[in-house]
Amino acid sequence: MDNKDYISVYFDDEDPMLQALRRLKENNLTIIDVLTPFPVHGIDKLLSVKRTRIPVGGFIFGALGGILAFWFMTWVFTVSYPLIIGGKPFFALPSFVPITFEMTVLFAGLSMAAGMFLRSKLKPDIRFKPADERITDNMFVIVIGSNANTTRESIRTVLSGISIIEIR
Amino acid sequence: MSIFQSSLRKPLIEGKKSYQEITSQILDPLVNKPIKLWYFAITLSGGAMLFGLLMMGWTIWQGIGTWGENRTVGWAFEISTFVWWIGIGHAGTFISAILLLFRQRWRNSINRSAEAMTLFAVICAALFPFIHLGRPLLTFFIFPYPNTRLLWVNFNSPLVWDVFAIATYFTISLVFWYVGLIPDIATLRDKLRKGLKKTVYNFLSFSWKGSARDWHRHEVTSIMLAAIATPLVLSVHSIVSMDFADSILPGWHTTIFPPYFVAGAIYSGFAMVLTLLIIARKLMNLEDFITVEHVESMNKILIATGSIVALAYITETFMSWYSGIEYEQYMLQNRMTGPYAWAYWIMIICNVGSAQLLWIKKLRRSLLFTFFISIVINIGMWFERFVIIVTSLHRDFLPSSWTMYKPTIVEYGLLIGTLGIFFTAFLLFIRVFPVISISEEKSILKTENALQVAKEIHHG
Amino acid sequence: MKKYRKDILSEQVRPKDDLSPEPAYEFDPLPELIKDSATGLHSSRRDFLKLCGYSFALAALSSCRSKISKAIPYVIAPNEITPGDALYYSSSYVNGSDYCSIIVKTRDGRPIKIEGNPRSSMTRGGTNARVQASVLDLYDMERFKEPISNGVPVSWDEADGEITARLKKISYDHGSIVLLTPTVYSPSTEAVITDFIEKFPGTAWVRYDAVSYSAMLEANLISFGRQVIPRFHFDKADVIVSSGADFLGTWLSPVEFTKQFSSRRDPEGSMNYLIQYEAGLSVTGCTADKRIQIRPSQEYALLLNIYREVVKLTEGRESNAPSSPADVRDIAVKLTSSPGRSLVISGSNVKDIQLLVNEINRYLGNIGTTIDFSRYMRTHEAIDSGMADLVSRMNAGDVDALIFWNVNPAYTWYDRDAFTKGLKKVGIAISLSGSPDETSSLVQYICPDNHYLESWNDAEPEKDLFSLMQPVISPLFNTRQMADTLLKWSGSAISYYDFIRSYWAVNMLPRQKEYSDPVAFFDHSLQEGVFETVDKNVRPAALLTRPVSHVFDPSLLKTGDDREALFEVVLYEPVAIGEGRQANNPWLHELPDPVTRICWDNYASISGLQAKENSLTEGDLIDIGGLTFPVHIQPGQAYGTLSIALGYGRKVCGMAGNGVGSDAWPFLTMDNGNVSYTRTLGRIGKTGSGYLFAQTQGHHSMEGRALIRETGLNEFKVNPSAGNELHEHYTRHAKSLYKEREYPHHHWGMVIDLSKCTGCGACVIACQAENNVPVVGKEEVQRVHEMHWIRIDRYYSGDDMDPEVGFQPVLCQHCENAPCENVCPVGATNHSGEGLNQMIYNRCFGTRYCNNNCPYKVRRFNWFNYTGAGTLRGNLRDKAGMTGDLRRMVLNPDVTVRSQGVIEKCSFCIQRIQAAKLKAKTEKRALYPGEIRTACSQSCPANAIIFGDLNDKESEMNRLIRSGRNYNLLEELFTKPSVNYLTRIRNRT
Amino acid sequence: MDEQFIFSKQYRNILPILAAVSLVVFLLAVVLSGSGSARIWSNILLNNQFFLGISLGAAFFIAVHRVATSGWQTVIQRVPDAMTSFLPVAFILMLLIYFGMNDIYAWADSEVYEGLTGAKKIWLNIPFYFVRMVLYFAGWIFFIRMMKKNSESLTISSDLKYHNRRKIFAGLFLVFFGITVSASSWDWIMSLKPDWYSTIFGWYVLISMFVASLCFIILITWLLRRMGYLKVLRSDHVHDLAILLFAFSIFWAYQWFAQYLLIWYGHLPEETSYFIPRQHEFTLLFFLNLGINFIVPFFGLIRTSSKYNLNRVAAIAAMTLIGHWIDYWLLIMPETAGTKATIGLPEISMTLIYACGFIYIFFRTLSHGPLIVKNDPFLQESLNYES
């Protein structure tokens, strides 16, 4: 326990946790991570989490999907196997729109989900052990990088006056 | 921490709960053994499902001739039911996506089950394009796969668009649903003791740990998925409507169909969500999360979409009269007074009449009435599709081909069977996954508790 | 012109008698394989091909006397046969009184399609539904397969031995032998029968036609001294008055008459005028310019009035007549103003009426012009009293042996009980019929005849018009031609084939000068199919033309005016089933009646007014005269009458025909020596309701839509676009949002002349035969699952009780902007570069979307496995036995048999187009104009359907398309069909 | 919080002068180009419709938010409120069409009228046309007045009954509006081509007018900010306005495409006759319409950050506003002026006249009350709004 290089501070409400977070930042302590049971509003700014570029990826892949679909349909109808269908032109542009749209959405959606899984390293793993089983229930945990100067005691001091459940 | 809300707003979580209470109240029904009513329900729905599967087998073996369809009425019961299911499958994404974008808080406790419902409804719907084929074993023809003859599909056909639209819709809905489920599965995982169940949920939880960065990505991804799902939900039923509107048949070929079908889909979808939730909140003891406020809000959507549908009826009626085209005029006259007039008037009464009753506040806050009206609307919306499909087909351009359509037991069996599949899946779902999004409920808890306090003060 | 080949057997089989005294086809011609299929085992098409090979190999092996029971490949491949190429043989369709000169198409040795022979001056290339369907009868598994003695199959030798012994004994004992046949108009067969009678003295030959014209024959004997039916020239008549004669549908020689009639239905030429007086609505009544409802009991009064008016107008003489059921003054004026160019006919089998008709025609000067006794008809010669005498002789025990051929009096004779009772008193009854029927089920011996496609024969349907019949396939079963049987029994050593040849050498050869060699002459005639004597020097025997003065005889006026109590039952021959000879033919059963659009059934047609009075609705069951019939409410049915079709309710004919409909023959009576086809009966009683007809058209009004556009002749003369004003309007508005496609090479199209179409249904069956269209059976038709690629829509307009009727053949319109093509997800239907709307069955997986989007509803879906072509086992739905191994032999190998779950539709006979193009290509030439004809177009006796290339601007088709009459069906939809319609012009003058 | 918009003298003077100059230009342009009265009347109809649409769209904006118990828009609510005050003027302007009926409506011609089918004869005749017009305007003006009156009451009273009342009237207005906006578009625009019909038409026009209206709200918001008003406006409000513009531009494109695709696909002459002249004679405008109204807002606003940027949103709104004017032009002009229709000086100057009038009325109304309704029960929520 003692040779861990991090310290976890437990809260049972987001308000003291946010307060603590502010306090810890003021004290320039390294915050490795914050684990919460739900997305806490305002935490991103405090942790200066950069806005993820998943949507950008989604846009690019979506565009790719759309272009691919459109190109494919055009190729099929004008080059690969042009068929006379209902007297319509081979390059039946309006007809291509629905599928182009669907493919755009499909590619965008899948790429964004994949992006999220990859960036957050979310993968099915039966050996996974959560840090604490209460985190998904009602516990808010700030994980602080520990070193010689940063000990549990020092942190308790820093966070004095804030309702803490425990420090590990 | 709470977001400022006007005091006019009503709390959406009753009873000033703590986070722990939310977790346990939502998960307890999953961890405990099901109640007798659940067993009764699943036996009933399972039976219906088996009957339906039998009828599907019979259809595939014997041919579409086992149905009442004929030379003139090439589609009838099965496509009505298909469109009906697809429509029902629209509420989930509408709730999750559009209401998320429009910041309707009340969506939180219903989106999970609505999305699940979407998936099951789409599965039920997707069965029909398969079994209604003359040669169902050749379904793969519909996909543009490379083959020796370099035959591709006809990208002009709305049925091909359908395949892409429904496949995309299902995939995106599934992803969206599952992405939302991951933190809750993690909660469930952590709630369970050791055992196979825990291992399975551990596997399904994708190693979710609740880190702030993960939450950020999760939120952004969710909202972006919602953003793309919004036009998607519009497109899917629009494309389904084009199955009809792209034809040249009077009663099918009308430009209002895409938006009108979307409104109708949301209308029927919300009705089905209401039906399910009013049952589920009793079955799963979720009265605190699915409140009368939720029901009222959804009823307002019913009024809105129901009115749009009514407006579309009015528009269609006017246009077929105004157009001066004899086929159009006859089509409408035949709907209203012809041999299927009963179906038309059921549709009008169920779809136009019923939703308008919800203008009365007392009624839209009554659970019993809502339950009743939701079933009425579902019946009405099924008849809407039936009326559109059958009455347009059975008397089209050449009177020599006019004929009548009468469904057979096999077709009823397919409708009953898909209802069985749907309810069986839903009953299993509520036993396996949290019906309400735990993390989202927690994220609005503070606000709701504050409103609860305000309400209590207000009431003295 | 196509060069029609001669029969192969004519050259190859001939030398056999040098080596063998027995004809080749007395080898067991039914090898194991086919026998297997008879017992239910499967034989494949391949086996059948082997079998065909075997039958050709017979020629080479004819000296070998051992029984061959194995199929072997060709030893010497016949020169004519190129696998995959069709061969065409001229022949004749003869079935009782039905006659047609035909060309038989065979593929790999099996006949698959009948076409009309354009060289016949009588039928002129026309056919009708029965002719078209006759090829299917060949492949009827339920035909007799071998001689049967008292229910036990025996060999021909045994049968011949026993029968000749019996006959000889009877003859020796001065007993009486009776040969009962329908009218025989084959000169050679007549000669054979004469020989037979010589060999067996005391033999009487009785002729009996189930649908009898004997009153006409007898009347003609009185009026003109000739007991014959003259040849009618409808093409020479400007005014035609028909009283109950459905001459475009069934009366006497409908194909011939339709050809003649339609040649005068061109509004640009001189159009004739037809007025029809009848009770039930017939095809002729539908086509008529004016139709007036009368009850059969009023016919006499009506004709008397016409007679009176005609006499008054021609001779200024008054005569007596009862009050007329209809105002006839106008028509009398019309008739008399075209002397010699009019025609009055009656379908009645009452002698007095026919006498009256003769008188009227005589006054009108029609004898010798439109009524030609020099070339009289030979197809109907039986006199009813002959049969009546026979029945009474039988009952008196006067008949010792009775030989039937092709008659079925146990079913068709008015007093069938007397007949069957009498039959029991006959010493020996022998049937020579080819297929089972009610009569042959009562006899001791069955010596089955060949099918006509397996037979040699000749025919003389009209005086001096000869026609040859040749086999196009070896007999499928162990059957023997009737004439051969008689020859054999007469002790003759030669075969009928040789008999015919020698008969022709003796009797026909001198009638022409072109050929002196009998062989060359015969071969030439065989190739032509017909031989007409053009001997102008031979004057016809002078007509007696004895005026029979007509005095109004009130006793002849039946009491039919008591509207309250009495119904007059009118029995008629339906267009498809006729008198029921082809009752085991599923094609004919499934052909909807042109007027009622009901198939697989007969019914009592009643007028709407009377149905209401008797509180009857469609499908109620009524009891009338002890028989039960479902009620069909028929617009245009005369009040007080019930029309019921004969030919239904067969009990012994096969699985397709047994028990279809109800038997109406018992209504027949004998009246004044002739069988009466009308009967006055008392009240009708309702016994049930809810009978469901297999009706292919459920709505009968055009709902004010401009589907069949029509106008009067006078209006047309003023404005060729009369009635078709919408065409110009729609054409002006039809603009495309995108560039329209062009079809520079060929662009196939069609014109259908609605003025000519009589709705007879020949095209429907021709299409069915050509394109392997499945039969689905009554139950499936009731469920609106019928499969015909071409249908004839029939609409009523005007008064419900007295409607005008329009026919409109509707087939795939091959739209340039085809709505069906757009929506097919897999592109299974698309457009060819030649403007054809193509259907690719292999690619179709059956969404039925195309059919939903087809405004013409011409696409057909295989709801079940009707053909056995599906991949799933055990789900075949073939109520009519059409997938039996033998029945399948009728399939056209050039056309895919569609499987369960695919859409099919008219292809404009793409196989014919491709074949003709290929032929032209190998011959390095362009297609001849009109070289390609679709099956429907080719079969049409009215020439109402013209197929061709829309790019060939000079063609007749394009001339018609440019005319003011041309329009497209539903042209407001801008589908740009390749099928065009010409407005119907009614001669309302 | 207690901001009061002051209609400055500068604007009060400039707008009428600009309008007068435009009028002169218009008259000169019409006379010099030799255009007939048809061109004048078409321009009047076009701008009547366009500015009426902006005004009605604002009412729709208010009513929808009201019914949805939405709170965020409270800070800018006076803008759409003031936009509806053009409605009575629009009524008078529409009544003026009476004098130009023969110039713009084909069916007003007695010969064409005789050729119409029965139903159209009943619907399309001058008396009934104006009866309906009066009916539409009466209803709109009534409901909008009632909404506004109760809203204004909240500036003095904090009684919640006013809030509840305006909500009820919003609901009633939406029902009435739903039917009449479709019907009026059939009457005023669709009947320009009496042989044509499209069921989606009313909804298409509704969305077009709503997007135009949104653009106008955004532009005014931007202007007010530049003038120093609306200090409480947060970027979150801008974001929500932008997202509405973004979403409804897509929705507009969706409706446009739905109508075009179905008509292109069905290819029935009675329907394609609408698109054939537009696509073949006015190809540039036809595609420009799609480009400006769909591509510009779509790509301009797709990034989240751009939705928070008022300047950027306003720039896109300005373009889209012009785009929807073109949309209206394409709805009307090819029918009234045929293939000769153009966008020339008469069109531009006439639009300027209308714009000046519209803005004048708008500013005048806006200056009549406080800029922010301080007793609105949702005001606090709106002030604290975070998107």
Q: How do the domains of chain A map onto residue ranges?
A: 6-37+135-167, 54-119
DSSP codes of every residue in A108-153? HHHHHHHHHHHHTT----TT---S-TTTTTT-EEEEEE--SS--HH
Task: Tell me the pTM.
Answer: 0.92
Q: Do D380 and B6 touch (CB under 8 A)?
A: yes
Average pLDDT over residues B313-329: 92
Q: How many other C-beta atoms lie within 10 A of the C-beta of residue C228?
A: 17
Q: Do B74 and C785 touch (CB under 8 A)?
A: no
Cβ–Cβ < 8 Å for A109, A102: no
Q: What confidence tier does B330 reach under pLDDT thresholds 50, 70, 90?
A: very high
Cβ–Cβ < 8 Å for C748, C947: yes
- Beta carbons within 8 Å of C142's beta carbon, 6+ residues apart: C435, C436, C584, C653, C654, C655
Q: Candidates 1.10.10.60, 3.40.50.620, 1.20.1630.10, 3.40.50.300; correct CATH number of B19-459?
A: 1.20.1630.10
Q: What confidence tier does D375 reach under pLDDT thresholds 50, 70, 90?
A: confident
Of how many residues is chain D composed? Answer: 387
pLDDT at B193: 82
Q: How many other C-beta atoms lie within 10 A of the C-beta of residue C557?
A: 16
Q: How many other C-beta atoms lie within 10 A of the C-beta of residue D86?
A: 24
pLDDT at D35: 76
Q: Do C703 and B70 touch (CB under 8 A)?
A: no
Q: Do B259 and D203 touch (CB under 8 A)?
A: yes
What residue in D sits closest to B99 (Cα-Cα)? D68
What is the dihedral sign for C-alpha B431, B435, B437, B441?
negative
A52-96 residue pLDDT tens: 899 999 999 999 999 999 999 999 999 999 999 999 999 999 999
Structure tokens at D338: 């045929």
Residue-averaged pLDDT of chain B: 90
Q: Do C857 and B72 touch (CB under 8 A)?
A: yes
Which of B60, B73, B135, B166 is most worth mutating to test chain C (most C CB atoms within 10 A of its CB)? B135
pLDDT at C15: 35
What whole-number distance in Å separates Cα of residue C673 and Cα of residue C384? 7
C970 shares contact with chain D (CB less than 8 Å): no
What whole-number distance in Å separates Cα of residue D381 and Cα of residue D77? 13
Cβ–Cβ < 8 Å for B274, B298: yes
- Beta carbons within 8 Å of C39's beta carbon, 6+ residues apart: none
CA C232 to chain centre: 19
D138 shares contact with chain A (CB less than 8 Å): no
* Residue type at C103 in one-letter notation: I
What is the dihedral sign for C-alpha C679, C682, C688, C689?
positive
C817 shares contact with chain D (CB less than 8 Å): yes
More confident residue, C10 or B436: B436
- Residue B290, sorted as left (phi over 0), alpha (psi -120 to 50) or beta, turns out to be beta
Q: How many other C-beta atoms lie within 10 A of the C-beta of residue C565?
A: 9
Q: What confidence tier does B35 reach under pLDDT thresholds 50, 70, 90?
A: confident
Q: Helices (DSSP H) in B246-325: which residue ranges?
A: 257-283, 292-323
Residue D43 above 90 pLDDT?
A: yes
- Beta carbons within 8 Å of B21's beta carbon, 6+ residues apart: none
Q: How far is C737 from chain A (nearest CA, A)?
A: 10
Contact list, B154 vs chain C (CB under 8 Å): 822, 824-827, 830
What whole-number distance in Å separates Cα of residue D323 and Cα of residue D285? 10
Neighbours of chain B (3+ CB pairs under 8 A): A, C, D
Q: How many other C-beta atoms lie within 10 A of the C-beta of residue C458?
A: 25
Structure tokens at B370: 């809502």
- Beta carbons within 8 Å of C792's beta carbon, 6+ residues apart: C592, C594, C757, C759, C761, C763, C764, C807, C808, C809, C810
* Residue type at B46 in one-letter notation: G
- The number of CA neighbours under 13 Å toward the Cβ of B336 is 12
- The number of CA neighbours under 13 Å toward the Cβ of B121 is 28
Cβ-in-10-Å burial (0-12, 13-18, 19+) of C430 comes to: buried
D98 shares contact with chain A (CB less than 8 Å): no
Alpha-carbon distances, residue B356 vs B295, B390, C162 (angstroms): 16, 26, 92
What residue in C sits closest to D272 (Cα-Cα)? C737
Residues within 8 A of C (CB atoms), D 271-310 only: 272-273, 275-276, 279
CA C628 to chain centre: 28
- Choose the closest CB to B255 out of D262, D386, D387: D262
Q: How far is D257 from chain B (nearest CA, A)?
A: 10
B163 shares contact with chain C (CB less than 8 Å): yes
Cβ–Cβ < 8 Å for D83, D216: yes
What whole-number distance in Å separates Cα of residue B307 and Cα of residue B316? 14
pLDDT at A158: 85
What whole-number distance in Å separates Cα of residue C932 and Cα of residue C919? 11
* Residue type at A91 in one-letter notation: F
pLDDT at C140: 92
What whole-number distance in Å separates Cα of residue C382 and Cα of residue C227? 10
C735 shares contact with chain D (CB less than 8 Å): yes
pLDDT at D1: 60
A119-164 residue pLDDT tens: 988 988 888 888 888 888 888 999 888 877 778 888 888 888 888 8
Q: What confidence tier does B448 reach under pLDDT thresholds 50, 70, 90?
A: confident
pLDDT at C590: 95
What residue in A sits closest to D266 (Cα-Cα)? A86
Contact list, A82 vs chain C (CB under 8 Å): none
Residues of chain C with pLDDT under 70: 1-80, 534-565
CA C376 to chain centre: 21
pLDDT at C532: 86
Please report the number of interchain residue pairs, chain A to chain C, with beta-carbon separation below 8 angstroms. Answer: 34
Q: Do D119 and B242 touch (CB under 8 A)?
A: no
Residue D377 above 90 pLDDT?
A: no
Residues within 8 A of C (CB atoms), D 57-86 only: none
Cβ–Cβ < 8 Å for D368, D361: no
Which residues, in sequence order, are bridge partners of residue C462? Answer: C377, C465
What whole-number distance in Å separates Cα of residue B393 and Cα of residue B247? 11
SS3 content of chain D, % helix, strand, coil (to 5): 80, 0, 20
Residues within 8 A of C (CB atoms), A 66-105 only: 83-89
Contact list, B304 vs chain D (CB under 8 Å): 67
D264 shares contact with chain A (CB less than 8 Å): yes
C38 shares contact with chain D (CB less than 8 Å): no
The secondary structure element, H or E, covering residue D289 is helix D283-290
Cβ–Cβ < 8 Å for C644, C667: yes
Q: Do C848 and B330 touch (CB under 8 A)?
A: no
Look at the domain A6-37+135-167 and name its fold: Alpha-Beta Plaits (3.30.70)
What whole-number distance in Å separates Cα of residue C244 and Cα of residue C282? 9
Q: Do C833 and A84 touch (CB under 8 A)?
A: yes
CATH architecture of C228-377: 3-Layer(aba) Sandwich (3.40)
Instruction: Enter the CATH code of domain C556-695.
Output: 2.40.40.20
Q: To the nearest whole percent, how much of chain B has pLDDT over 70? A: 98
CATH architecture of C713-736+743-986: 2-Layer Sandwich (3.30)
What whole-number distance in Å separates Cα of residue B231 and Cα of residue B223? 13
Neighbours of chain A (3+ CB pairs under 8 A): B, C, D
Contact list, A95 vs chain B (CB under 8 Å): 155-156
Q: Helices (DSSP H) in C555-640: which residue ranges?
A: 586-590, 608-613
What whole-number distance in Å separates Cα of residue C123 and Cα of residue C103? 12
First to last CA, chain C: 40
What whole-number distance in Å separates Cα of residue D171 and Cα of residue B359? 10
What whole-number distance in Å separates Cα of residue C961 and Cα of residue C940? 19
B376-388 residue pLDDT tens: 999 999 999 999 9
Average pLDDT over residues D87-98: 94
Domain range annotation of chain C: 9-141+466-475+500-532, 228-377, 556-695, 713-736+743-986
Contact list, B255 vs chain D (CB under 8 Å): 198-201, 258-259, 262-263
Which of B171, B211, B262 is most worth mutating to test chain A (most A CB atoms within 10 A of its CB)? B211
pLDDT at C202: 85
What residue in B sits closest to D247 (Cα-Cα)? B231
D254-306 residue pLDDT tens: 999 999 999 999 999 999 999 999 999 999 999 999 999 999 999 999 888 89
- Choose the closest CB to D119 out of B156, B242, B322: B322
Residues within 8 A of A (CB atoms), C 555-594 only: none
Cβ-in-10-Å burial (0-12, 13-18, 19+) of C534 comes to: exposed
Residue B348 above 70 pLDDT?
A: yes
Cβ-in-10-Å burial (0-12, 13-18, 19+) of C619 comes to: middle
A165 shares contact with chain B (CB less than 8 Å): no
Pairing of strands C401-404, C371-377: unpaired
Q: Do C816 and A89 touch (CB under 8 A)?
A: no
Phi/psi of residue C479, nearest 5 degrees: -110, 165
Q: Do A39 and B179 touch (CB under 8 A)?
A: no
Structure tokens at C332: 């009398």
- Choose the closest CB to A88 out of C738, C832, C976: C738
Residues within 8 A of C (CB atoms), D 247-276 only: 263-265, 267-270, 272-273, 275-276
Cα dihedral A149→A151→A157→A161 (10° resolution): 140
Cβ–Cβ < 8 Å for B256, B312: yes
What residue in D sits closest to A93 (Cα-Cα)? D261
Can you give the C-alpha Rg of chain D in angstroms?
Answer: 21
Q: How far is D310 from chain A (nearest CA, A)?
A: 21
- In the block, tokens 């429009």 appear at B102
